[in-house]
Structure 1
Amino acid sequence: MTEAGAKTPRERYRAQVRTEVKEHAWEQIATAGASALSLNAIAKRMGMSGPALYRYFAGRDELITELVTDAYRSLADTFRAASEAGPDVIALGHALRGWALADPQRYLLIYGTPVPGYHAPDDVTAISSEILATLLDACATLSPDTPATPPTSLDAHLEAHREWAAGHPAPPVALRRALAFWTRLHGVLSLELAGHFRGMGIDPAQLFAAELDELSRPD
């Protein structure tokens, strides 16, 4: 009998195989994209039969879910570490860019072109909501309950459609800032990772920093 929490040799072997499968999956994604992910091709690379590999992953969607979950969890942990000293939009922005550049394929899997026919399960959505909550906490510190400028039509729209904020109590101005953070910074990152700034003479790091500086100015 093993001690509580200890893994048996069979469980350790299964975990090792699953880890190796995911490593080969990332290699496939880097070469041909997530839509071309093939368990049979991975089995061949590992010297296994297709049916044998399906004992570790029931199908492509389960494997993609593992990869997506790992990616979201990694970013959630990165955001949490960046917020240890307190909610900080600047810290989150630089953490996001560092995380994306460290592993572009991981970033593109969750923020790039959606995988055809794949829908993330609720537990993945919960992790993405955790990331958003960290961002909204930071944006709320820069957005007073009574802003100096009158509410915009977008503020009213966001107040009426708060579902994406997953119950966070941030005021509409904070919702608008978080949405701008997500769209503008992801826009710069996506263009940078796709190589669109090459040959333009533009330093994407400076562009990103300038966008982040503007987004972090108190209301």
Structure 2
Amino acid sequence: MVRAQESPRARYREQTRSEIKQTALGQLAESGVGALALTRVAKEMGLSGPALYRYFANRDDLLSALIRDAYDDAAAAVGQAAAEARGRSPRERLEEMAGAYRAWAINEPHRYLLIQGAPVPGYVAPDDTRGRARAVLGPFLPVFANGTPEAGLAALVVEMTDWLAEDESVGAWVAEYAPDVLGDLRAPSYALAGAVLVWAQLHGSVGLEAAGNFTGMGHGGGTLLIAQLNLLADAFALD
């Protein structure tokens, strides 16, 4: 009986939280994260400040919710691309997943810049965002696990080996997305090295494009990204 009475209330609360987040995203798209304020959101929605605080404790609480959603949606885009590319060559899978990530970022640059742009002064992201960020990169791990890194990547591979030994959560991350490499002495380190490098490539190319820094230049963002990915795939001798 109590559950039946609480269910509509819970649904209304979730709906209102969703509307607040959508309003905040509109402000992000218009003015950037620095302009985000609960009082401004409340005014746009026709709510009082105290009413809004029933749904989010403060600006950082709202910001954390938006960041979680952005990571989750980016991870979903990459995960769907990984599923659709299953059975294709590692190089093709790499391109499909990176392309999906780029498409998500370019379609919603304000959300991409929220998680990959300049840090918000005074804001500290909650611990659970680390797992969400790793979920975005997770599908890339098996692509590189069976690669053969060129000699120039040896120092990075050593650092990834040390990271595995020092942090149990890293091993769990690899095990979740590339369980077939468990027990192999080198593949987990190769997988991590590839994931770190693809993150750097994505952040560099997609970040510049999302911020509008390719305007007036003679190349397309997708063309540049594919060129970078091919260089990375060559460095790991991917098929």
TM tier relative to shorter chain: 0.7 to 0.9
More off after superposition, 24-33 vs 130-139: 130-139
Quickly say closer, same or farther: Cα 1:195–1:54, change in 2 above 3 A: same
Residues 185 and 211, structure 1, Cα contact 8 Å, conserved in 2: no
Structure showing greater relative contact order (alpha-carbon pairs closer than 8 Å, 6 or more residues apart): 2
Aligned residue runs from structure 1 range 110-189, under 5 A: 110-141=115-146, 143-144=147-148, 149=151, 152-162=154-164, 163=167, 166-167=170-171, 168=174, 170-189=187-206
In structure 1, the residue matched to 2:10 is 11
Give the AA of the match of 1:183.
Answer: A
Q: Contact 2:106 / 2:209 at 8 angstroms: preserved in 1?
A: no
Cα distance in 1, alignment partners of residues 42 and 150 from structure 2: 60
1:133 Cα deviation (Å)? 2.3
Paired AA for residue 124 in structure 1: T
Query: Residue type of the partner of 1:189?
Result: V
Greater mean alpha carbon deviation, residues 77-86 or residues 59-68: 77-86
Equivalent-residue separation in structure 2 for 1:165 and 1:94 (angstroms):
28
- Check the 8 A contact 1:76/1:130 in 2, yes or no: yes
CA distance in 2 between counterparts of 1:35 and 1:17 reads 23
Which letter maps to 1:179? V
Task: State the 1:26 CA deviation.
Answer: 0.7
Change (3 A) 1:150 1:70: closer
TM-score, length-scaled by structure 2: 0.79
Q: Structure 2: state its 5+ residue gaps.
A: 175-181
198-207 or 8-17, which moves further after superposition? 8-17
From the superposition, tell whether residues 164 and 37 of structure 1 become closer, same or farther in structure 2 (CA, over 3 Å).
Answer: farther
Which ranges of structure 1 fall in alignment gaps of 5 or more residues? none
Q: 2:219 aligns with which of 173, 192, 202?
A: 202
Q: Distance in 1 between matches of 2:82 and 2:162?
A: 29
Q: Which has the higher helix share?
A: 2
Q: Distance in 2 between matches of 1:100 and 1:117?
A: 25
Alignment of 1:87-106 (within 5 A): 88-106=93-111
Tell me, yes or no, if the aligned pair for 1:135 and 1:178 is still in contact at 8 Å.
yes
Q: Give how far 1:2 is off.
A: 7.8
Pairwise CA distance, 1:213: 2.0
How many aligned residue pairs are there? 215
Contact 1:129 1:165 (8 Å CA) reproduced: no
Percent identity between matched residues is: 42
